[in-house]
């Protein structure tokens, strides 16, 4: 039976999720931008006309999507919508910029509604665990590709082996390189800048350490793509708290070679600073806000521009090494970007598990807790495959490190 879902944010990823869930559920898509909402409506119509890998179902005939103009910075308006909706929403799916993530998550939990969130929020979502349990809410956070699917993979293999190390390398890249950045952002440029500013937390020899974002640049070769550069970013997130027994963990972002150096110049010159500067005419400006607006022109991913998502996850334990790779590209058939598909469909897969009652645990649930259940993990992998997103798994034996226990 179709459920009632409120989806917050009609950006590139948000509208992909809305169209996906609207096949089987009644969706209300909220955003302040009329253009973004109109694009989502058009995408739903187009998506229904093109040939897809998903078979039509009788259930989908009663599905729908309506749009709602709502300033998502106004938490009171959001709370009023959740409290007064009759019948109430069964689920909220959040695709907002990181700076709105925590307060939105807190508001939704406070209204007693389950939520799936992909926001790259700077706060620790686990701080809301007691509130979620108090309101009998299941809140799945960081539910994208990475963090998100990367966490689920570690959660899954952590149940199968004694993990000694975890490494994730991941990035979204345009197919065509364009000087000077060789990069396009499929989501908010402010979140990308935050990724380049936030100190990266790693685990080395059982201890949490902090490194500068964009540090430890290394060149890595990927078949069918070539050489990319990888650098430290703060992608481990909840894994630092939920996997304390793993002695070595790190996450790195992938870009075309040379990108990190350009960004470091911007950062070191103060273009990403948030503290406002006073100009000669006493006007106050935030360097980061100005830079975001300027970079948006250069980084904006056009609706049908070809891009790709690349990820390599390596998990080691004992004498076994498991490598999971993803090389996904823009889908011409559905006209949906790779980052929207790989991020959004991971979230909608988890949303489907919640809506069907298969996830019963309450509290703030990081993705690794979802991945540890075989039935959940298998469902998500199958869900993604039906939508043309394929992860490749390989295992190999290698000599154990000195002192490793079997």
Give pLDDT tens digits for 166-185. Answer: 999 999 999 999 888 999 88
DSSP code at position 145: B
> Would you state the pLDDT for residue 398?
76
The DSSP bridge partners found for residue 254 are 230
* 56-69 residues labelled b (16+ CB within 10 A) or e (exposed): eeeeeeebebebee
pLDDT confidence of residue 82: 96
Which architecture does CATH list for 149-336+391-397?
2-Layer Sandwich (3.30)
pLDDT for the residue 55: 45
Residue among 46, 23, 11 at smallest CA distance from 355: 23
Specify the DSSP class assigned to residue 301.
P
Question: Which pLDDT score is estimated for 232?
Answer: 97
Smallest CA-to-CA distance from 200 within 161, 162, 173, 239 is with 239
Cβ-count burial 118-157 (b if 16+ within 10 Å, e if not): bbbbeeebbebbebbbebebbbbbbbbbbbbbbbbbbbbb
pLDDT at position 27: 96
- Where do the structural domains in the chain lie, given as residue ranges? 4-144+339-386, 149-336+391-397
Coil vs helix vs strand at 304: coil
* pLDDT at residue 61, as a whole number: 43
Nearest to 237 by CA among 93, 122, 84: 122
Report the candidate in 301, 105, 269 with the shortest Cα–Cα distance to residue 192.
301
Residue 63 has a pLDDT of 56
Residue 220 backbone dihedrals phi, psi, to 5 degrees = -130, 135
What is the reported pLDDT for 406? 29
Task: Give the whole-angstrom CA distance, residue 77 versus residue 80.
Answer: 5
CATH class of residue range 4-144+339-386: alpha beta
Distances (CA, A) of 174 to 125, 169, 171: 31, 17, 10
Q: How far is CA 250 from the centre of its chain?
A: 17
Listed as own residue / partner, the contacts of 255-259 with beta carbons closer than 8 Å and 24 or more positions apart are 255/171, 255/173, 255/182, 255/183, 255/228, 255/229, 255/231, 256/173, 256/177, 256/182, 256/183, 256/228, 256/229, 257/219, 257/227, 257/228, 257/229, 258/182, 258/229, 259/181, 259/182, 259/183, 259/229
Q: Which residues contact 206 (CB under 8 A, 6 or more apart)?
A: 247
Element (H, E) at 314: strand 307-317
* CA gap 345, 144 in Å, rounded: 8
Do the domains spanning 4-144+339-386 and 149-336+391-397 agree at the CATH topology level? Answer: no
Please report the pLDDT score of residue 9 as a whole number: 95
Residues of the chain under the 70 pLDDT cut: 45-63, 186-187, 400-406
How large is the angle between the packed helices 98-110 and 75-84, nearest 10 degrees? 30
Handedness of CA 97, 102, 106, 109 (dihedral sign): positive
Query: For 87, which DSSP code?
Result: S
What is the predicted pLDDT for the residue at 281? Answer: 82
Q: Report cis status (omega within 30 of 0) of the bond before 180.
A: yes
Q: Which residues pair with 112 in a beta bridge?
A: none
- β pairing state of 363-365 and 391-397: unpaired
């Amino acid at each position: 039976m179709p459920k009632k879902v409120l989806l917050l944010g009609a950006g590139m990823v948000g509208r992909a999720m809305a169209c996906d869930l609207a096949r089987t559920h009644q969706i209300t898509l909220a955003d302040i931008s009329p253009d973004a909402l109109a694009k989502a409506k058009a995408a739903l119509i187009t998506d229904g006309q093109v040939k897809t890998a998903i078979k039509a179902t009788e259930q989908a005939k009663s599905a729908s999507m309506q749009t709602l103009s709502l300033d998502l910075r106004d938490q009171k308006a959001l709370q009023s919508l959740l409290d007064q909706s009759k019948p109430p929403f069964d689920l909220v799916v959040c695709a907002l910029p990181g700076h709105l993530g925590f307060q939105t998550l807190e508001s939704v939990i406070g209204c007693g509604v389950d939520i799936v969130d992909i926001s790259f929020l700077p706060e620790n979502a686990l701080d809301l665990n007691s509130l979620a349990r108090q309101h009998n809410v299941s809140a799945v956070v960081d539910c994208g590709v990475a963090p998100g699917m990367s966490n689920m993979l570690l959660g899954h293999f952590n149940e199968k082996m004694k993990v000694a190390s975890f490494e994730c390398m991941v990035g979204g890249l345009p197919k065509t390189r364009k000087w000077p950045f060789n990069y396009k952002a499929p989501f908010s440029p402010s979140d990308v800048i935050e990724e380049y500013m936030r100190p990266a937390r790693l685990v080395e020899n059982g201890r949490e350490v902090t490194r500068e974002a964009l540090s430890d640049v290394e060149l890595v070769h990927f078949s069918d793509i070539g050489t990319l550069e990888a650098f430290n970013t703060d992608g481990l997130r909840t894994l630092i708290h939920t996997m304390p027994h793993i002695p070595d963990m790190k996450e790195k972002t992938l870009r075309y070679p040379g990108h990190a150096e350009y960004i470091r110049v911007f950062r070191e010159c103060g273009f990403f600073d948030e503290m406002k500067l006073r100009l000669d005419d006493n006007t106050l400006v935030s360097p980061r806000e100005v830079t975001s607006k300027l970079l948006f022109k250069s980084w904006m991913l056009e609706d049908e521009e070809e891009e790709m998502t690349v990820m390599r996850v390596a998990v080691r334990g004992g004498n076994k090494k498991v490598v999971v790779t993803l090389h996904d590209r823009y889908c011409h058939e559905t006209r949906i970007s790779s980052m929207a598909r790989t991020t959004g469909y991971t979230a909608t897969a988890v949303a489907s598990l919640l809506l069907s009652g298969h996830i019963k645990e309450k509290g703030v649930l990081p993705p690794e807790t979802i991945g540890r259940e075989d039935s959940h993990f298998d469902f998500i992998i199958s869900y993604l495959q039906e939508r043309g997103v394929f992860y490749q798994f390989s295992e190999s034996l290698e000599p154990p490190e000195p002192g490793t226990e079997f």
